[in-house]
Amino acid sequence: MSASVPDTAASERGALVASSYRQLAEIYHDLLSRDQLDHVLERLVKTVRHLIPVASILIAEAQTEQRQLKPIVAEGGWPDGFLNSTLPFGEGLIGLAAERGRPILCNDAHLDPRAGHVAGTPVGEPEAIISVPLVARGVVIGAMSLYREGEEASFSEFDFELAQRFADAATIAIENARTRAELRELGRRDELTGLFNRRGFNELLNAALANADTSPVGLVVVDLDDFKSVNDEHGHLCGDDVLAEVAGVLRDAVGGSGQVCRLGGDEFAVILAPASIVEAKIVAEHVRATLASRVVRLTSGEVRQQASIGAATTEGVAEPSAELLMREADRAMYDAKPERAPVTLKLVADAGA
């Protein structure tokens, strides 16, 4: 009775499949243990290129309203500046996969008119491409393409299947990153006004101060005068309307020159980076004048909300800090209150003088 001869090819394929899915499982573990999208995608790309050797790999995020893809990972022979480009839905195999929401395997991409061409890459060379949409809850959020080059270039059906599994992992990574980013943003926004809240203010101010040695930081503090009477005479709902209106006035007055925050109650702040002493004064005066000229119309009457405003700057300060800048801006604001001076400016460099 003869012994059975093991099928070496089948055994090797089984080992490859087991190894591939084991490494895929490790990628999913990374998705649960890491917060940073770039770290997860870097690990994913390395694993894909190890299991499915390719010349290039591209992962792009969908910008749905513009119907285009924005590259976020481009490994291989991509031209300089490619990550700053966009790829329209429906153009090229990756754009076609995104538009149709279906994966594509094309082992003769150089002969396929659907493949298109990326400027700055070789023209007409033999190439095989797998393009897979990244689909979350029925919506295309991106796409991934793998590329092999040369006369013998091709992908197997197993490569195609494995690429789709890795695309699922990329989808989860992007979705998790989006969700975390949205939650972080919600956590630093004021629900009533949509401005940055105290937490957001602290983060933004500390980030600005990290570069204060080369770019001076200005801070404008705005405190609404006698706001309690608005709540007492018109009710708290109308008071909320006034706060929301003031937030809009501040946004309009500051424009793109600073970050507007609501510190709490009827106190607001504007972070200016960079800002000289003169620039901080100009912004503060513009905010004061804009508020003074605006009438808030409520169902129970009209309110012209005045404010006391103080400004401070780190210009010329050897060791600026958030505490010092905030203290001096507050001091300037309180100096303005009794006499209703238009704006008081404190130079942080004068602190303690």
pLDDT at 33: 60
34 falls in which pLDDT band (50, 70, 90)?
low
Check whether residue 45 and residue 183 sit in a common domain.
Answer: yes
Question: 136 lies in a domain?
Answer: yes
Check whether residue 207 and residue 297 sit in a common domain.
Answer: yes
What is the rounded CA–CA span in Å between residue 110 and residue 125? 6
Boundary of a domain, candidates 136, 153, 187 = 187
CA quadruple 253, 256, 258, 262: dihedral sign: positive
Check whether residue 77 and residue 158 sit in a common domain.
Answer: yes
Question: 122 lies in a domain?
Answer: yes
**Cβ-based burial of 232 (10 A; exposed 0-12, middle 13-18, buried ≥19):** exposed
Of 190, 223, 266, 330, the catalytic one is: 266
Boundary of a domain, candidates 187, 209, 233 = 187
pLDDT at 253: 85
| Per-residue pLDDT at 351 exceeds 50 | no
- Is the whole model's pTM more than 0.75, yes or no? no
pLDDT at 277: 84
Question: 1 lies in a domain?
Answer: no
Q: Helices 8-33 and 157-187 meet at what angle, rounded to 10? A: 10
Check whether residue 93 and residue 224 sit in a common domain.
Answer: no
Domain of 74, CATH number, reads: 3.30.450.40
Q: Does residue 77 contact residue 55 with C-beta atoms inside 8 Å?
A: yes
Boundary of a domain, candidates 166, 187, 208 = 187
pLDDT 10s digits, 279-308: 888 888 888 888 888 888 877 777 888 889
Q: What is the DSSP letter of 189?
A: B
pLDDT 10s digits, 59-104: 999 999 999 999 999 999 899 899 999 999 999 999 999 999 999 9
What is the rounded CA–CA span in Å between residue 166 and residue 107? 19
The stretch 318-331 carries a mean pLDDT of: 89
Find how far residue 320's CA is from the centre of its chain: 28
What is the rounded CA–CA span in Å between residue 173 and residue 32? 9
139, 14, 133, 156: which is closest to 65 by C-alpha?
Answer: 139
Mean pLDDT of the chain: 85
Is 266 catalytic? The answer is yes
pLDDT at 21: 67
Check whether residue 119 and residue 72 sit in a common domain.
Answer: yes
Check whether residue 85 and residue 211 sit in a common domain.
Answer: no
Number of domains within the chain: 2
pLDDT at 61: 94
pLDDT 10s digits, 112-160: 999 988 777 778 789 999 999 999 989 999 999 999 999 889 999 999 9
- Which residues span the domain enclosing 244? 198-350
Pairing of strands 127-136, 139-149: antiparallel
Q: Does residue 247 contact residue 261 with C-beta atoms inside 8 Å?
A: no
Check whether residue 315 and residue 266 sit in a common domain.
Answer: yes
Domain of 322, CATH number, reads: 3.30.70.270
What is the rounded CA–CA span in Å between residue 104 and residue 175? 22
Find how far residue 331's CA is from the centre of its chain: 35
Check whether residue 209 and residue 165 sit in a common domain.
Answer: no
Find how far residue 112's CA is from the centre of its chain: 36
Check whether residue 155 and residue 222 sit in a common domain.
Answer: no
pLDDT 10s digits, 182-197: 888 888 999 999 999 9
